[in-house]
C-alpha cells in the first residue's frame, strides 16, 4: 500500500489568531514495503506528518492517498476504521497506553474492538507476544509487573495484533538502554523482512537511519527539504550541520580518520563498510 502526499498543507488552529504552520506543501510517496526514516530538528513537522499517515490529522489543503483512501480536508471521520487498522501507530513511550489487567487482554483489546471474537483475539495475542520476542508466560501477567522494555513490546504487540500493513514508529527506542535499543531495532527489521511491513520511523538517531532505512525524508519548518537514500542524505555533512542534523557515528569516525590521511570512498555508513575500507589501509585483511 503506497502512501502519497500531494501538495499537503496543514495549519494548526486554522482561522484563529493562534494559527501555525505544521506542514507546508509536502509532496512525497512512501512506497509499499519500504523502510522510510523521517528526520529533522525539534518542531520541524515530523509528528504532524506522521499523524497524516492514518488521518488522525487531515490536510488543511492537498491530498493524502493511503492505499484506496483519499484524505482531504473534506473527508469525514466516518469510515476511517479500516484505514486505522491498516496503519498501526506506535507513539513515543507507547507503554503508557497499557491499561488492562493482563498482557493477553491488553493485546486482544484492539482486535476485539474491530469485531474479532474473544477467542480469536486471545489467539492473536499469543502469536503477537512471540512476534515481539516475549515468552508465553507474560500473557497472564499484569503488564505493570514487566520491565519498561517488555511493556513497550506489549504495546507494540497490541498494534501488530491489528495486522497492519504499515507500522509507524515515533522514536520507538526513546528511554531504552543501548542493548534494549539494539534489540528493538532488530525486532522491527525482522518484522519488515519477514512480514513485509512497510515501516515509517521518526528518529534522531542517525545510526538507525544509516543501518535500516532505504528512504530518508528531511523536514525543516514544516517543509520536506530533502528526500533520498541514506547515502545521498549523509553525503553533505555541512548541509546536515546547517540543518542541526548529524552524521552516523561510522561516518563521523571516517571523517576523523580522513583528517589523519586515511581515504574512504564511498563514505562508510555502517560499521561493516567502515571495517571493509579501513582494514586494507592499516595492513589488516582476511585471515586464512
Ligand X SMILES: Nc1ncnc2c1ncn2[C@@H]1O[C@H](COP(=O)(O)OP(=O)(O)OP(=O)(O)O)[C@@H](O)[C@H]1O
Q: How far is the CB of 47 from ligand X (least distance, A)?
A: 3
Residues in the interface with ligand X (CB under 6 A) total 12
Does the protein bind ligand X through residue 42 (CB under 6 A)?
Answer: yes
* β-strand pairing of 3-12 with 20-30: antiparallel
Which segment (45-53, 113-121, 184-192, 223-231) binds ligand X by CB under 6 A? 45-53
DSSP conformational letter for 270:
S
Q: How far is the CB of 265 from ligand X (least distance, A)?
A: 33
**CA angle at 33 for the pair 27 and 34, rounded to the nearest 5°:** 55
Does the protein bind ligand X through residue 43 (CB under 6 A)?
Answer: yes
Given a contact cutoff of 8 angstroms between Cβ atoms, the answer to whether 138 and 59 are in contact is no
Nearer to ligand X by Cβ, of 73 and 244: the residue is 244
User: Which of 1, 40, 116, 181: binder of ligand X (CB under 6 A)?
Assistant: 40
Q: How far is the CB of 202 from ligand X (least distance, A)?
A: 7
The 3-class secondary structure across 220-240, one letter per residue, is ECCEEEEEECHHHHCCCHHHH
| Distance (Å) of CA 280 to CA 147, 249, 265 | 44, 20, 13
Does the protein bind ligand X through residue 143 (CB under 6 A)?
Answer: no
Does the protein bind ligand X through residue 45 (CB under 6 A)?
Answer: yes
Nearer to ligand X by Cβ, of 132 and 240: the residue is 240
In what order do the strands lie in the sheet containing 61-66? 20-30, 3-12, 61-66, 69-71
| Residue bearing cell 563498510 | 273
Nearer to ligand X by Cβ, of 18 and 119: the residue is 18
Q: How far is the CB of 42 from ligand X (least distance, A)?
A: 4
Which segment (46-54, 59-67, 98-106, 230-238) binds ligand X by CB under 6 A? 46-54
Nearer to ligand X by Cβ, of 45 and 143: the residue is 45
Does the protein bind ligand X through residue 20 (CB under 6 A)?
Answer: yes
Does the protein bind ligand X through residue 60 (CB under 6 A)?
Answer: no
Nearer to ligand X by Cβ, of 77 and 194: the residue is 77
Active site residues: 171
User: Which of 2, 4, 6, 12: binder of ligand X (CB under 6 A)?
Assistant: 12
* Distance in angstroms (rounded) separating the CA atoms of residues 194 and 59: 33
User: Which of 3, 8, 37, 46: binder of ligand X (CB under 6 A)?
Assistant: 46
DSSP conformational letter for 267:
P
| Surface-to-core class of residue 282, CB atoms within 10 Å of its CB (0-12 exposed, 13-18 middle, 19+ buried) | exposed
| Surface-to-core class of residue 182, CB atoms within 10 Å of its CB (0-12 exposed, 13-18 middle, 19+ buried) | middle
* Distance in angstroms (rounded) separating the CA atoms of residues 144 and 8: 40
| Residue bearing cell 528512504 | 215
Which segment (25-33, 36-44, 185-193, 231-239) binds ligand X by CB under 6 A? 36-44
User: Which run of H or E residues covers position 145?
Assistant: none
For residue 169 the three cell numbers come to 514508529
Return residues touching ligand X (CB under 6 A): 12-13, 20, 22, 40, 42-48
Amino acid at each position: 500500500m503506497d502512501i502519497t502526499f500531494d501538495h499537503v498543507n496543514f495549519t494548526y488552529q486554522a482561522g484563529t489568531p493562534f494559527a501555525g504552520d505544521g506542514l507546508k506543501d509536502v509532496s512525497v510517496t512512501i512506497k509499499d514495503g519500504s523502510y522510510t526514516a523521517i528526520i529533522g530538528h525539534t518542531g520541524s513537522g515530523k509528528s504532524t506528518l506522521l499523524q497524516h499517515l492514518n488521518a488522525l490529522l487531515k490536510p488543511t489543503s492537498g491530498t493524502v492517498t493511503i492505499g484506496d483512501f483519499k484524505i482531504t480536508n473534506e473527508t469525514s471521520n466516518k469510515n476511517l476504521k479500516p484505514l486505522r487498522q491498516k496503519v498501526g501507530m506506535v507513539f513515543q513511550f507507547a507503554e503508557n497506553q497499557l491499561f488492562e489487567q493482563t498482557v493477553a487482554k491488553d493485546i486482544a483489546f484492539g482486535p476485539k474492538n474491530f469485531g474479532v471474537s474473544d477467542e480469536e483475539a486471545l489467539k492473536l495475542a499469543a502469536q503477537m507476544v512471540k512476534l515481539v520476542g516475549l515468552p508465553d508466560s507474560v500473557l497472564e501477567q499484569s503488564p505493570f509487573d514487566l520491565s519498561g522494555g517488555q511493556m513497550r513490546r506489549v504495546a507494540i504487540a497490541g498494534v501488530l495484533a491489528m495486522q497492519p500493513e504499515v507500522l509507524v514508529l515515533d522514536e520507538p527506542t526513546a528511554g531504552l538502554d543501548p542493548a534494549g535499543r539494539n534489540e528493538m531495532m532488530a525486532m522491527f527489521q525482522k518484522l519488515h523482512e519477514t512480514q513485509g511491513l512497510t515501516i515509517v520511523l521518526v528518529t534522531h538517531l542517525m545510526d538507525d537511519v544509516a543501518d535500516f532505512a532505504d528512504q530518508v525524508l528531511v523536514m525543516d519548518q514544516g517543509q520536506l527539504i530533502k528526500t533520498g537514500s541514506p547515502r545521498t542524505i549523509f553525503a553533505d555533512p555541512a548541509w546536515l550541520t546547517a540543518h542541526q542534523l548529524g552524521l552516523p557515528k561510522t561516518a563521523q569516525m571516517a571523517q576523523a580518520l580522513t583528517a589523519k590521511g586515511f581515504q574512504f570512498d564511498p563514505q562508510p555508513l555502517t560499521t561493516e563498510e567502515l571495517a571493509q575500507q579501513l582494514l586494507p589501509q592499516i595492513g589488516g585483511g582476511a585471515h586464512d
